[in-house]
Amino acid sequence: AQSVAQPEDQVNVAEGNPLTVKCTYSVSGNPYLFWYVQYPNRGLQFLLKYITGDNLVKGSYGFEAEFNKSQTSFHLKKPSALVSDSALYFCAVRDVDTGFQKLVFGTGTRLLVSP
Amino acid sequence: DAGITQSPRYKITETGRQVTLMCHQTWSHSYMFWYRQDLGHGLRLIYYSAAADITDKGEVPDGYVVSRSKTENFPLTLESATRSQTSVYFCASSGKGGRTETQYFGPGTRLLVL
């Protein structure tokens, strides 16, 4: 069975500092990995995805994520945080080999960026 | 670009009543999904549909019914609402390009069952 873990319920960072939101995954085959962001009272917005190829994936709003197969991780990063980045972030995984488009989501990490 | 819409955005109902949540997408996406979001659980899949008239259960289907007579609509019905169904419900859709496809989400329906 596939699963995703987001070990931090909340991450606090000062504006202008780099940020990292952690995600580890477990699948029986090869993973497709996704990051979504949710602003208050809004739906989830797609940020980026890893399918294959370069381990560093660039996405929307200056975010990027690094796929590490040996550590089964897909951490979300941004070189310089903005107050407007404060939101709830979800990591999700799809098992390439088990068919269908089912996504399994982590429990979410709340990012708070202070001015 | 209307994308994917949900209605109502907020709903209060009583235990035992039937409630239908609507989802409409304008992209002609093949796949549509219903999730519920609860604190500590992230998003959990309720039902999904690969095409019109093709639906299947997800992780937490009990107490819910879906139909999909048209590609663009995917209503979710709570046949007899219970307090445990108080949640935020999200509809999503994606194309039929395979497992690389991204799912796009609607704005959500916040449901309170009293």
CB pair distance less than 8 Å for B103 and A100: no
* Cross-chain residue pair A36–B105, CB shorter than 8 Å: yes
A6 to chain B: closest CA residue: B42
Joined together, the tokens standing for residue A59 give 């996405």
Residue of chain A nearest B107, judged by CA positions: A43
- Per-residue confidence (pLDDT) for residue A61, from 0 to 100: 92
For residue B41, what pLDDT is reported?
A: 83
Binary contact (A46, B103; C-beta < 8 A): yes
Nearest beta carbon to residue A32 from set B45, B48, B99? B99
Instruction: Please list every residue in chain A whose beta carbon sits closer than 8 Å to the beta carbon of residue B98.
Output: 101
pLDDT of residue B113: 97
Tens of pLDDT along B34-79? 999 998 888 999 999 988 999 999 889 999 999 999 999 999 999 9
Q: How close is the nearest chain B Cα to the Cα of A71, in Å?
A: 22
Q: How far apart are CA B31 and CA B68, in angstroms?
A: 11
Give the pLDDT score at A29: 80
And the tokens for B66?
A: 């879906």
Of B58, B101, B107, the CB nearest to A42: B107
Name chain B contacts of A60, Cβ cutoff 8 Å.
none
B5-22 residue pLDDT tens: 999 999 999 999 999 999
Per-residue pLDDT at A30: 82
Chain A residues touching B58 at Cβ < 8 A: 102
pLDDT at residue B99 in the model: 61
Residues with pLDDT less than 50, chain A: none
Amino acid, single-letter form, for residue A86: S
CB contact (8 A) between residue B103 and residue A96: no
Rounded to whole angstroms, the Cα distance separating A89 from A75 reads 11
State the average pLDDT over residues B74-91. Answer: 97
Q: Confidence band (pLDDT; 50, 70, 90) for B95?
A: confident
8 Å CB contact between B51 and B66: no
Residue A1's pLDDT is what?
A: 75
Give the pLDDT band (50/70/90) at residue B108.
very high
Q: Residue A44: beta bridge partners?
A: A38
Q: Which of B99, B100, B103, B111 to mutate to test the interface with A (most CBs of A within 10 A)?
A: B99
State whether B43 and A102 contact (CB < 8 Å). Answer: no
pLDDT of residue B1 exceeding 60: no
pLDDT of residue B81 exceeding 80: yes
Max intra-chain CA distance, chain B: 41
The per-residue pLDDT for A96 is 64
pLDDT of residue B100: 66
pLDDT at B39: 84
